[in-house]
Structure 1
Amino acid sequence: MSRKLKRRHFILSGALTGTALLAGCAGDGGSDGGSDGGDGSSPTVGLLVPSLEFTFFARMQNAFDQAKSDGDISSDSTFYDAGNSQSQQVSDVENAVSNEVDFIMISAITAEGVISAIQEANEADIPVIAIDRNVAEGETVTYVASDNVQLGQRSTELCLSFMQEESDQDMYNIVQLEGTPGASVTNDRGEGFQAAVSEYDNLESLASQTGEFSTQEALNVMEDFITEYGDEIDGVFCQNDLMALGAHQALQNANRSVPITGIDGTEAWIERFPDNPTYGTIAQLPEEMVTTSIEQGKAYLAGEDVEDTMVVEGLEVTQENASDYLDQYFG
């Protein structure tokens, strides 16, 4: 018997409240004198991300710059954009170590690609915090991220709910556009997708292929899917919103319209929702990730206990709450 999925609706303020509580676990960022660089001054921090091509990481940069402006971290703190080059990100870690930062926050391009650089930071006794994407080896203080397995499952379930709203069928065929091969986030979101497919016996995975987290690559892959599977495709799950944009464009070019869901909460994708009631995403909150990572780094420097993992909850965004979300984060 097929299991009918009822779509869940999340209140924006409720999700943010839960995130704020998580972000506050390490205290108030130093007002009690215990969460600073160890000598009463603001710590010097390096934040390393894969690429500013992704709006998600641009939002991290904005939050990082705000933390500098507010004095939560030193004005000498540095933001590093690797331009999606693994060798550049390794070099960025090495530069941060050479600059003797108080701690490093890194979102690794791939889990394996920065192992040697993380170990170099470990040898220099510079604490490392993994943010959004984890690392395969090396010592990290904590991992601050959404539960990417859960994000993948929730977004796939959201796509299924849209498909069910559009038509009553015994079986729904879904295609998946995967992210960068080898990235921890790709593996986790893919695991969540497979969990949803396994849980719902009226949902079948028609095809999966990497779109490299890129709009253009996703467009190309989606065109191939349309050529091969045509009307068999009932819905599309994308491991990020940039790929959802590419899938949208390919379907539009083919005069097709099917439900599409993504992950991240990218402005350009959510702006499509008013005209597309079966588009959605599970938004991450990169600002909260940066704030939480800074608080955890400062707590660690002050000798406080830090949890191995800090989860920042994702927020379901659909046509119903898209306007409120855009006003809050991009208004």
Structure 2
Amino acid sequence: MKKKVLGRFAMKGLILASTMMIIAGCSSGASETSGDQGSDDEKITIGFQASGLETEYIAKLGDAMEKAAEDQGVDLVVMDGNYDINTVITQLDTLKNQNVDAIVVNALDAEALNSTVNQIVDSGTPVIGVTASLTAEKLTSYVGSPDVEGGRMAAEEIAEALDGKGNVVIFEGPIGISAQIERREGIYEVLEKYPDIKVLDEQTANWSRSEAMSLMENWIQKYGDKIDAVIGQNDEMALGALNALKDKNIKIPIVGIDGIDDAQKAVKDGEMVATIFQNAEEQGKKAVEVAIKAAKGEEVEKNYEVPFELIK
């Protein structure tokens, strides 16, 4: 299995690298392993376009897909969009032009990729969304966790910790990405049940721990001890907020989503009240399985759901 990680500064080497990969794949016959490609004469190549591999959860997702590709005996080309929509679109077009057999996309925006994805599917290449959904009508399939429910679970933990009364600040993901939209929906669905919980402020910190730390520092300066709790739409931002609060010797309830290792440790150490675990390994494995089936022309479902799990 061959893996290439390509970002916005590595595009010049993409064509040669991808062509070599496809040639290598085409020269390989089906193997007698648990990932046997059956009677196929050519080895399948899957492209994975990631929104941004600097985020721990997306990096874990990529690792899971790499392992699944190895187990299934297929090649995997990984591209890092570095959270830049123009880079993402360029990389998707490049994967199409390199004739990969299927593309898995971790969509940076719920709508901005629709035209590109629809065109790729029309050209004959199936496209599977993973973790972050998109509304492209021709999307072949989607593998992910129900983000509205994740938002609900996080907000319920904060409501319980506050006994239904207090002021919260909310860290949002990149505006327009499906998880930001849907987790926000779930959070507010719960908060509407608690009229004595007020949202002091909410802003994006782009899934970033460092951005969230800076934003939390600003909020501490602006609101002081009026802040009673923190909701992070992901763990990286929750942990950034935690770092800023610890620097000021402030301890308030904090919840995040994804269940990354540092967040689980913070929960265990009593520094966060909970994290909502999203199973990157299962999502990555299932996305590769679905991509292989779609590449072979087999029927796949439109949606595969991997449930969230509460860790507290």
Shorter-chain TM band: 0.7 to 0.9
Q: Once the 2 structures are TM-superposed, how far is the Cα of residue 277 of structure 1 from its aligned partner?
A: 5.4
Distance in 1, Cα, partners of 2:55 & 2:39: 34
Do 1:37 and 1:102's aligned partners in 2 also have CA atoms closer than 8 Å? no
Partner of 2:87: 88
Alignment partners' CA distance in 1, 2:68 and 2:223? 48
1:184-227 CA deviation, whole Å, 9 max, x = no partner? 11000110111010123443322211111111211122122222
Distance across 1 between alignment mates of 2:61 and 2:39: 25
Counterpart amino acid of 1:178? E
Which protein has greater RCO, CA pairs closer than 8 Å, 6+ apart?
1
Q: How far apart in 1 are the matches of 2:38 and 2:86?
A: 29
- SS for the counterpart of 1:272 is helix
CA distance, structure 2, for counterparts of residue 121 and residue 305 of structure 1: 18
Moved more, 296-305 or 186-195: 296-305
Which segments of structure 1 move beyond 6 Å, counting only runs of 4 or more? none
Deviations 1:257-295 (A, max 9, x none): 101000111112222233325432101011111111222
Query: Aligned pair 1:187/2:181, yes or no?
Result: yes
SS at match of 2:186: helix
Aligned-partner residue type, residue 242 of structure 2: H
Q: Deviation string for 1:277-326 (max 9, x for gaps)?
A: 543210101111111122222333445442222110111112xxxxxxxx
Contact 1:129 1:144 in 2 (8 A): yes
Shift in CA distance, 119/145, structure 1 to aligned 2, threshold 3 Å = same
2:8 alignment partner in structure 1:
none
Q: How many angstroms apart in 2 are the aligned matches of 1:263 and 1:38? A: 42
Taking structure 1 as the reference length, what is the TM-score of the superposition? 0.78
Q: Assess, with a 3 A threshold, how the Cα gap between structure 1 residues 136 and 315 changes in structure 2: closer, same or farther.
A: same
Note closer, same or farther for the CA distance 1:133–1:278 as it changes in structure 2 (3 Å cut). closer
CA contact (8 A) 2:158 2:255 kept: yes
Instruction: Provide the residue aligned with 1:162 in structure 2.
Output: 161
8 Å contact 1:38–1:301 — kept in the other structure?
Answer: no
Q: Which amino acid aligns with 2:44?
A: P
Does 2:281 correspond to 1:280? no
**Separation in structure 2 between the aligned mates of residue 272 and residue 147 of structure 1, nearest angstrom:** 24
**Count of aligned residue pairs for this structure pair:** 281
- Which of 185, 190, 206 is residue 212 of structure 1 equivalent to? 206
Q: How does 1:1-331 map to 2 (within 5 A)?
A: 39=40, 42-70=43-71, 72-75=72-75, 77-164=76-163, 171-276=165-270, 278-318=272-312
2:100 maps to amino acid: V
- CA shift for structure 1 position 73: 4.4
Which segment drifts farther, 224-233 or 257-266?
224-233
| 2:229–2:253 CA contact under 8 A, matched in 1 | yes
Asked if 2 retains the 8 angstrom alpha-carbon contact of 1:122 and 1:138, the reply is no
In structure 1, the gaps of 5 or more residues are 1-30, 165-169, 319-331
Task: Please provide the CA RMSD for this pair.
Answer: 2.4
Return closer, same or farther for 1:38/1:316 CA change in 2, 3 Å cut-off. farther
Question: What does the per-residue CA deviation read over 1:50-71, in whole Å, with 9 as the maximum and x for residues that have no partner?
Answer: 111111111112112212322x
Q: Does 304-313 or 238-247 show the bigger shift?
A: 304-313
Report SS of the residue matched to 1:136: coil
- CA drift of 1:114 comes to 2.1
Distance verdict in 2 for CA 1:211–1:200, change over 3 Å: same
Instruction: Tell me if the contact between 1:37 and 1:302 (Cα under 8 Å) persists in the aligned partners.
Output: no
Deviation at residue 37 of structure 1 after TM alignment: 8.6
Task: Measure, in 2, the Cα distance between the counterparts of 1:34 and 1:273.
Answer: 38
Identity of aligned residues (%): 29
State the SS of the aligned residue for 2:268.
helix
- Describe the SS at the equivalent of 1:48: strand
Output the CA distance in 2 between the equivalents of 1:278 and 1:53.
Answer: 23
